Amino acid sequence: MRALLQRVTQASVSVEGQRIGACGPGLLILVCAMQGDTQAQADHLAAKIAKLRIFKDEAGKMNRSITDIGGSALVVSQFTLAADTSRGNRPGFSYAASPAEAEALYTYFAAQMAAHGVGVETGQFGADMQVELLNDGPVTIWMDTDS
């Protein structure tokens, strides 16, 4: 699985002008299931993110996790993280999981984040979404369970 984390003071997602999810302070997590990904990889990714020390402590150092600060997460499915740009000028997405597999892993991942004590809201799988965020730092981190 792939994830792009953005530390935020706030973030929200809307579909057709209706806000369907929001968080803050915490993380906007854009997540993509790749072909062959499993629940074990979603478990690993959620556990790693829940413990990742990217929030400031009293001394201003990135030394606290989202669970340490009592933060929340907005989890949004984003298949374009599977983009293959190695040939030509149009990205290919053949490495992304099928929609049915991807939706199941996306939902499972969000549930695993919640199981780690993180307040979670989500986007709408497969929808055309508008995401707004106020990036804090900015801190943006790329994660891939295959690397």
**DSSP labels for 24-80?**
-SEEEEEEEPBTT--HHHHHHHHHHHHH---EE-TTSSEEE-TTTTT-EEEEEE-GG
Residue 109 catalytic? Answer: no
Exactly one of 9, 35, 39, 80 is catalytic; name it: 80
Domain housing 104: 2-144
Bridge partners (DSSP) listed for residue 76: 30
pLDDT at 146: 87
pLDDT at 96: 96
Report the domain count for the chain. 1
Residue 55 catalytic? Answer: no
Residue 80 catalytic? Answer: yes
Average model confidence (pLDDT) for the chain?
97
The model carries a pTM of 0.96
CA distances to 3, 42, 87, 121, 132 from 145, in Å: 9, 8, 24, 22, 26
**pLDDT surpassing 80 at residue 80:** yes
Both tokens assigned to 130: 């508008």
Residue 106: which CATH number?
A: 3.50.80.10
